[in-house]
Structure 1
């Protein structure tokens, strides 16, 4: 896709070790001198690995397809322009569940040293990878299902202090469109039964497991003791934390977004998913997914929406 401010390749800003980027075989890899790294598939612009201090922060199913044949089970898939099965009476009604963002081939737009922003302290400290998707790149089927002119730029910034993923949506057409977006992050934990998700106290949520009705989080922390599928709406706190054995494991900071989904399939649902392996893998993952999924975001011609997350690992 065309982009006037396409970033320049990384250039050395000093005599010490520099960040590196490698793009090959449908995958972009960035690495810092510290050894921290991130891997992003061009298919779906899906982050499939984020390592800090030599340890993996994301959970990816052993049966996940990484060849572009189907959306990845795990990592950080990009959900756009609808979350879940779309309403049949909506403009997205003909699209598959979660839309086309996670199963389209994105273009690699380039890399740049990131000297500004939440994770940067200088050119050697962080590196940003940009990926693009537009109407022209969609399959013919998807073009018919959702015929709006749009442009997406997905920026993945690896820093010493964490990982930032931001989605920029532009209406490039002549008519308004509505959309939802979600970053479907699967986080790796040692044992989900020893974890809690904090920062959701007093928040209203829709419980998709219980009755799809609204409830209010009555405790400051959420314990995972069975299947969980909740949409938390208009969260007041900026940060949701995964706490493991009483210690902070990972912080998820919403950036210009106020909704989050918490999901774990537990025993029976994991058994029923063909691409979920090992079947007891639910013990080692929990999804905390930032997004705009409570209703629809309206975007007029020429307007832009941007939202994402900043992840900080405490490994």
Structure 2
């Protein structure tokens, strides 16, 4: 069992006052707090497509995103598992598509609970957790053939007045070990990419995919955007990466048992080359800051489990 640095703490249920509401239509689960904060999660990919607080949408979703379960959803928070990027040759995941099958499989909605919410909320009236599950039974025959391990995933999305927490528990249900990577491919909505900087990068080495996957040392603590960015920052020693707009804090990404972060913006040329990226100038209104475990592989022994996640906080 891999120990987590930030274990969820128990909630003290509250039975007085307005309570959160949850609605599921078989394709999407929507939860709202009495404060008006809300989250929407598609069962396809268990992809969070909306997270609002104080009337503001925090996530970017392509206007051409496919929400019918035909392909990975462009935007929101897709779940990457069990491989990040194109699967490497001569590896157990080599027959899987880019970013694996987690984001292109139909997950089960397991229900709502207030038994824990990590660092979120103080009672059931101001936080709510939605649980989703994925096992080989949910996979297509093609995916089961490509990756024939026995596993179970439980994905928890907790909405509170303090932010949004996403946690993934991976369990090896079989009799042989398997390797995996995982990542939350979070698309954040921002007003203008030219006014954005990402901070919390001091002393971190990164792999630059634009420069032939070469490694570099961060120069300073921040990153500004003047063109395509596709970097894997690895082995953070601190847990928070922040998005600032006009030098004012806008969003925080707090890693829990995830040491890596991918930062991505396709810029003009990249957006035009992606069929479902709309509008084409949408790159000016989004930035991906993606907590993950993608530098190398996690090996999970038989009957062992791994849990990790992120907490997203908005300063609006």
Q: Give 3-state SS (helix, strand or coil) of 2:278's partner.
A: coil
The equivalent residue for 2:7 is none
| Greater mean deviation of Cα atoms: 146-155 or 17-26 | 17-26
The equivalent residue for 2:266 is 265
TM-aligned CA deviation for residue 14 of structure 1? 2.6
The equivalent residue for 2:72 is 71
Q: Give 3-state SS (helix, strand or coil) of 1:108's partner.
A: strand
Output the CA distance in 1 between the equivalents of 2:223 and 2:124. 38
TM-score between the two structures when normalised by the length of structure 1: 0.95
Contact 1:183–1:291, Cα closer than 8 Å, also in 2 = yes
Output the CA distance in 2 between the equivalents of 1:237 and 1:106. 32
Contact 1:191–1:283, Cα closer than 8 Å, also in 2 = yes
Contact 2:117–2:127, Cα closer than 8 Å, also in 1 = no
Contact 1:148–1:173, Cα closer than 8 Å, also in 2 = yes
TM-aligned CA deviation for residue 15 of structure 1? 3.4
Contact 1:264–1:285, Cα closer than 8 Å, also in 2 = yes
- For residues 212-227 of structure 1, the aligned pairs below 5 Å read 212-227=213-228
Cα deviation per residue 1:228-274 (whole Å; 9 max; x = unaligned)? 00000101121000000110000000011100000000010100111
TM-score between the two structures when normalised by the length of structure 2: 0.95
Contact 2:268–2:281, Cα closer than 8 Å, also in 1 = yes
The equivalent residue for 2:156 is 155
Output the CA distance in 2 between the equivalents of 1:102 and 1:115. 25
TM-aligned CA deviation for residue 218 of structure 1? 1.1
Structure 1 gap segments, 5+ residues each: 1-11
Aligned residues: 304
CA RMSD of aligned residues (A): 1.0
TM-aligned CA deviation for residue 115 of structure 1? 5.2
The equivalent residue for 1:8 is none
Q: Give 3-state SS (helix, strand or coil) of 2:269's partner.
A: helix
The equivalent residue for 1:311 is 312
TM-aligned CA deviation for residue 187 of structure 1? 0.2
Q: Give 3-state SS (helix, strand or coil) of 1:262's partner.
A: strand
Cα deviation per residue 1:7-63 (whole Å; 9 max; x = unaligned)? xxxxx9433110010011400001000000000000000000000001100000000
Output the CA distance in 1 between the equivalents of 2:140 and 2:201. 38
Structure 2 gap segments, 5+ residues each: 1-12
